[in-house]
A and B are shown apart, each in its own frame.
Chain A
Amino acid sequence: MREEMERDERVFVMGEDIGTRGGVFLATDGFLQKFGAERVIDTPLAESSIAGIALGAATSGMRPIAEMEFADFIWPVFNQIVGEAARVRYGTNGGLHVPLVLRAPYGGGVRGGLYHSQSVESFFAHVPGLKVVVPATPYDAKGLLKSAIRDDDPVVFLEHKRTYRLVRGEVPDEEYTLPIGVADVKLEGSDISVITYGLMLHHCIEAARELAKEGISVEVVDLRTLRPLDEATVLVSVRKTGKALVVHEDTRAVGIGAEVAATIAEKAFDRLDGPVTRLAGPDVPAMPFSPPLEEMFMLDSKNIADAVRTLARY
């Protein structure tokens, strides 16, 4: 963000506690000092207006980055982002467009309870006109965020809170971007394709390393973008392995897994030698607070390895 704000004067950030405090996760630490209060706006506590104001600024030639303090508080924004932003280009017949980024920390496993743990991606990924990006590594986050800021359409940019602290990775200082809508094979393998994103990527890789010792070769595909979905990368992988497991933290029914599984079933049916399988969060309304209950909700590498073993038997 810092580099993009230096590069392009139209870029500015707005959200709760992002100024003096530098954001609750310190994503904008030092921004106020560097860019001033006009481009680093501490907003009132009113999410709907954060998105609506960003939308208006975006259609007027600016490139706002609007921040939700936690994805759990994104729902008032649904109206502005799903109801409005996604439809502006289409509804004005190309007359206006909305180059805005809506950043939101999401996901659980952080003792956040019902309201600081939610996965919100499938609600937004359903919407034509929006792009939904879910980086899992620091390297991907930088490259994808730059692309999101430069994108001419609204991008919902979801950052898993647990990856902030858990995952450390090399981030080159120099300029690079990564294209939105392109998945990444994070681990090559030949027996089974595991398709995932976000925090679960790291659990999947751990599981794959464990399974390698048992002679099961797992290919791990990181979707990175949920809309547009990179069908090609998924299909190339599944055609190679013949087996697909989709893993996500979000609850199962009508989730991203359903979309990926349907795509595979439609387009790689002839190459499958096992059921396309979903492993996802349990269908309860949100992640509970108490440790045993939270653990019950969160998938880990063990659950994933078990699911791979079951599928590998076909």
Chain B
Amino acid sequence: MGDGNPDIATLKSPANKVGAIRLDAPRMLAMYTQMVRSRTLDERVWLLNRQGKVALMSSAQGHEAAQIATVHALRPGQDWFYTYYRDLAVVVALGVPFKEIMLGYMAKAGEPFSGARQFPCHGAYPKYHIVNPSNVVGTRIPQAVGAALAAKMRREGTVVIVYFGDGAASTGDCHEGMNFAAIHKLPVVFFCENNRYAISVPLSKQIAVSNVAARAEGYGMPGLTVDGTDVAAAYEATAEAAAKARAGHGPTLIEAMVERALPHTSDDDDRKYRSREEMEEVKRRDPLPILKRQLEAIGVLNVELDARICEAAKREVDEATEFGEAAPYPTTEGFYDHVYAPQGGAPSP
């Protein structure tokens, strides 16, 4: 445990970068593969929505670099991931099988997060340490802080990361959660995926300053803004925050500047509030070709390898789609299950 206030200056100073955790080429390639897989799945689900086979989709397109990088910067299997509805690439990078994800989109039996009671990837998947309890924006922030409190109490060396949007940052829950986490130096990483929109509301109507990370100082924790289309930037920032958290130095607020490439959800039409010129700019910041170019430049990716990665992703998505379509809907048999602990069940220790 550190004493006194967190040393914000240290984190921001270039000196701190000397020992910084660097992203290596094999990991970058692994990230690329996951990004292709996530994107392929994402595009397919959007299409399935248009075909009436998926009721609702909130796409991660444009957010993937930041999402995937955080998973690599943490310890899957040990650390906990408090995701929100736009975090498909987190779920993909954590290794949840596509067939299971597809059951969620199609609301079919055997869906692992909620038994198809909730929207896709909502609920929890304890096996992968994913918690995404609800559609309610902001509520998971203090919940993640509570998980970090528990981790600290149990001296587990576990880190909790909580993902949320720029809109969520306006909630009282966000403020209250961050404040508590900073006071108690809890091992939590606040990861704001700032795409500058909350549905149609632009950032300028959300906050009067230009960055969410600017708030961190007011809570007494480090805050930094990174380019969320760059895996290295997001990876290094998260790895550093995780290391600090694990060492007992408390929380960090990371704001990743990302792009929302599609409308808010499949139910939304963004033409009313985003100009087509703006969307052209968004395309230029697409993290997938950015990472592809980076990998090509360092000689890690070539045309053949890329084709193999894309082909495998397509096959995986095809199989998941077939699997999902063939799967039955849940029966109503368990409809009343899990309102309370099972009758006669022993209280948990």
In whole Å, how far is B221's beta carbon from the nearest beta carbon of chain A?
21
Determine whether A20 belongs to the interface, using a CB cutoff of 8 Å to chain B.
Answer: yes
Determine whether A92 belongs to the interface, using a CB cutoff of 8 Å to chain B.
Answer: no
Bound: A48/B175 CA distance, A: 13
Q: In the complex, are the beta carbons of A111 and B201 less than 8 A apart?
A: no
If over half of B's interface residues share one DSSP class (helix, strand or loop), that class is named, otherwise mixed; here it is: loop
Q: In the complex, are the beta carbons of A116 and B117 less than 8 A apart?
A: no
In whole Å, how far is B93's beta carbon from the nearest beta carbon of chain A?
24
- How many of A's residues come within 8 Å of B, CB to CB? 34
Taking CB atoms, residues of chain A closer than 8 Å to B206 are: 44-45
- The 8 Å CB contact of A291, one of B167, B173, B329, is B329
Q: How many A-B residue pairs have CB under 8 A?
A: 108
Determine whether A285 belongs to the interface, using a CB cutoff of 8 Å to chain B.
Answer: yes
Determine whether A288 belongs to the interface, using a CB cutoff of 8 Å to chain B.
Answer: yes
- How many of B's residues come within 8 Å of A, CB to CB? 38
In whole Å, how far is A290's beta carbon from the nearest beta carbon of chain B?
4
- The 8 Å CB contact of A42, one of B108, B205, B329, is B205
Bound: A76/B139 CA distance, A: 10
Taking CB atoms, residues of chain A closer than 8 Å to B336 are: 282, 284
Determine whether B331 belongs to the interface, using a CB cutoff of 8 Å to chain A.
Answer: yes
Q: In the complex, are the beta carbons of B117 and A48 less than 8 A apart?
A: no
Bound: A19/B273 CA distance, A: 10
Q: In the complex, are the beta carbons of A296 and B335 less than 8 A apart?
A: yes
Taking CB atoms, residues of chain B closer than 8 Å to A48 are: 172
Determine whether A210 belongs to the interface, using a CB cutoff of 8 Å to chain B.
Answer: no
- The 8 Å CB contact of A296, one of B138, B172, B205, B332, is B332
In whole Å, how far is A14's beta carbon from the nearest beta carbon of chain B?
11
Q: Which residue of A lies closest to B172 (CB)?
A: A48
Q: In the complex, are the beta carbons of A44 and B168 less than 8 A apart?
A: no
Residues of A bordering B, CB below 8 Å: 16-17, 19-22, 24, 42-49, 72-73, 76, 111, 113-116, 282-285, 288-293, 296
Given contacts A22-B272, A48-B172, A283-B339, 14 further A-B contacts (CB under 8 A): A20-B200, A20-B273, A44-B205, A45-B167, A45-B198, A111-B56, A114-B135, A282-B335, A282-B336, A290-B107, A291-B329, A293-B117, A293-B335, A296-B332
